[in-house]
Amino acid sequence: MHVNQDRLIQIFFELVSISAVSKQEKPVADYVREFLKNNNIQVFEDQTGQIVGGTSGNLIAKIYPGAKAVPSQFCLAAHMDTVKPTTGIKPQNQDGIICSDGQTILGADNRAGIALILYLVESLKQQASHIPFEVVFTIGEETGLYGSTHLDIDRLESRTVYILDSSADPGSFVYAAPAAIDFTINFIGKASHAAVNPQAGINAISMAAHLIQNFEVGKINDDTTINLGKINGGEANNVVPALVTLTGEIRSFLSEDIENSFQDLVKQLKRTEKMFSGKYAIKREEAFPGFILDQKSDAICRIISCFQVIGLESKPMRYHGGSDANILNSRGMVAIDLGIGAKNPHANDEYITVQDLLTMQKFLQKLVAAGN
Ligand SMILES: [Zn+2]
């Protein structure tokens, strides 16, 4: 298994040099389409761009050897958007560590994933046979998981998707992620002149403060986290505030923990309401669904055996964030996020090592190798 390091890095540098944030993925989609076309691969663009108001939809292509169309066994996926623009990027290879000059993000999240897939496709041209598979390039991952939410999955033959988007080291893969709900609380007090007639008012800020003091946030247990994220309210220094809005989230690997925590919150709100003779209103909505995959499933056994062959320790992990994997798992696919080693995502000191790129490329080559 030989990997042409210079070519792999070249593709990666070309990709990060294209600035394309969420819902403005067209330039990078054009690059991907052109690249695949040059390898005689047809690309399908789904409707997601129109649905969410983006400049491109998700791209889907089938990679199969020769003319015989056998069903694809799995998809490889990566997202096309970066969290911030990469305009003016100066990507550099400093003794095996690829980074920007510190003025921009590197964009390894997730252009490294795209580069790995494109290099793989190009390298398969020289091979007589390999396992047929599909590739999926999604949009709008960073700002709302739009691409996976609207992905035209009827276009796909396979129901297993390996997403090359975790910042963990190669060999790591995500088998579980929490579900999350968002909530918005309105504390409704009563306005009154703060000096002339304060006793007629009900202070909504005091209500919010009481709740905040009595409701536990942070890491509640190994499975569950709660956050109060944003607060807003009041009018002027001489007015007893009548309205405070407080928002937050509850995340857990266990759905009953989400319910229990939410009920605790409601209980505290009722106490607060009673104590201040004010009112509250609470609204909740699902932020994203969670998943726990069977570690003995075919989809997971397949990657574990490939890691083994290339001498890499496999590390199943739980990831507390939300990603395209959450959405695709909830849509009836088996979606597994794989660590590719892109470190410090979203920051200007983001980097990825050449070694990790090469390791992941070797893994992919093994994954699609005939007879595997
Ligand atoms: Zn990402």
Express each pLDDT in 129-175 by its tens digit: 899 999 999 999 999 899 999 999 999 999 999 999 999 999 999 99
The band of 295, judged by pLDDT with boundaries at 50, 70 and 90, is: very high
pLDDT value at position 67?
Answer: 61
The one-letter amino acid code at 14 reads E
d(CA 54, CA 51): 8
- The pLDDT score that the predictor gives to residue 70 is 78
Q: Please give the distance of CA 162 from its chain centroid, rounded to a whole number.
A: 13
Instruction: Find the 136 Cα to ligand 1 centroid distance in Å.
Output: 14
Rounded Cα–Cα distance for residues 274 and 276 (Å): 6
pLDDT of residue 262 exceeding 70: yes
Task: Measure 165 CA to ligand 1 centroid, in angstroms.
Answer: 5
pLDDT at 318: 95
Beta strand 172-177 with 92-94: parallel, antiparallel or unpaired? Answer: unpaired
Mean pLDDT of 70-79: 93
From the CB of residue 53, how many other CB atoms can be counted at a distance below 10 Å?
Answer: 9
Average pLDDT over residues 52-63: 97
Burial (0-12, 13-18, 19+ Cβ within 10 Å), 58: buried
Average pLDDT on 77-85 reads 95
Give the pLDDT of residue 53. Answer: 97
Residue 315 CA to residue 307 CA, distance in Å, equals: 10
Q: Which amino acid is at 237?
A: N
Q: What is the pLDDT averaged over residues 113-120?
A: 98
Closest-CA residue to 258 (of 182, 174, 149): 182
- Tokens 């997730």 locate to 110
Interatomic CA distance for residues 352 and 13, integer angstroms: 12
The stretch 228-257 carries a mean pLDDT of: 96
User: How are strands ordered across the β-sheet holding 279-288?
Assistant: 218-219, 224-233, 243-252, 179-188, 279-288
Q: Would you place residue 256 in the very low, low, confident or very high pLDDT band (cuts 50, 70, 90)?
A: very high
User: Which segments within 224-364 are labelled E, that is strand?
Assistant: 224-233, 243-252, 279-288, 291-292, 315-318, 334-339, 351-353
By three-state DSSP, how is residue 14 classified? helix
Give me the pLDDT at residue 125, please. Answer: 86
pLDDT, tens digit (0-9, with 9 covering 90-100), for 300-325: 999 999 999 999 999 999 998 888 99
What is the CA 237 to chain-centroid distance, rounded? 42
Contacts of 58 (CB under 8 A, 6+ apart): 45, 46, 48, 136, 137, 138, 139, 147, 150, 151, 152
Average pLDDT over residues 278-293: 95
Range 214-217 contact pairs with CB under 8 angstroms and sequence separation of 24 or more: 214/268, 214/271, 214/272, 215/264, 215/265, 215/268, 217/248
CA–CA distances in Å: residue 144 to residues 83, 87, 139: 11, 22, 10
> Quick one: pLDDT at residue 65?
82
pLDDT band at 337 (very low <50, low <70, confident <90, very high): very high
**Mean pLDDT, to the nearest integer, of 187-215?**
97
| The pLDDT of residue 344 is above 70 | yes
CA distances (Å), origin 247, targets 14, 184, 208, 311, 361 = 41, 4, 11, 46, 42
Percent of the chain with pLDDT over 90: 93
Whether the per-residue pLDDT at 372 is higher than 80: the answer is no
* Distance from Cα 168 to the centre of ligand 1, integer Å: 11
Distance 325 CA to ligand 1 centre (A): 11
Closest CA to 176 of 336, 304, 363: 336
Region of poorest pLDDT, from 122-126, 189-193, 246-250, 334-338 = 122-126
Quickly tell me which residue has 């990657």 as its tokens.
303
Please report the pLDDT score of residue 186 as a whole number. 98
**C-alpha 224 – ligand 1 centre gap (Å):** 23
Whether 24 contacts 139, CB under 8 Å: no
Distance 337 CA to ligand 1 centre (A): 10
**Distance from residue 361's CA to the centre of ligand 1 (Å):** 18
Q: For position 354, what pLDDT does the model report? A: 96
Distance between CA atoms of residues 40 and 291, nearest Å: 36
203 pLDDT above the threshold of 70: yes
Residue 68 has pLDDT above 70, yes or no: no
The CA 296 to ligand 1 mean position distance, Å, reads 26
pLDDT above 90: residue 29: yes
- Map tokens 């695949």 to a residue: 36
Give ion ligand 1 contacts, CB < 5 A: 109-110, 165
pLDDT over threshold 90, residue 200: yes
What's the whole-number average pLDDT of the chain?
95
**Domains defined for the chain, CATH in brackets:** 5-177+290-368 (3.40.630.10), 179-288 (3.30.70.360)
- What's the average model confidence in pLDDT over 115-132? 92
Residues 156 and 135: their CA atoms lie apart, in Å, by 9
pLDDT interval class at 199 (50, 70, 90): very high
Assign 69 a pLDDT band (cuts: 50, 70, 90): low
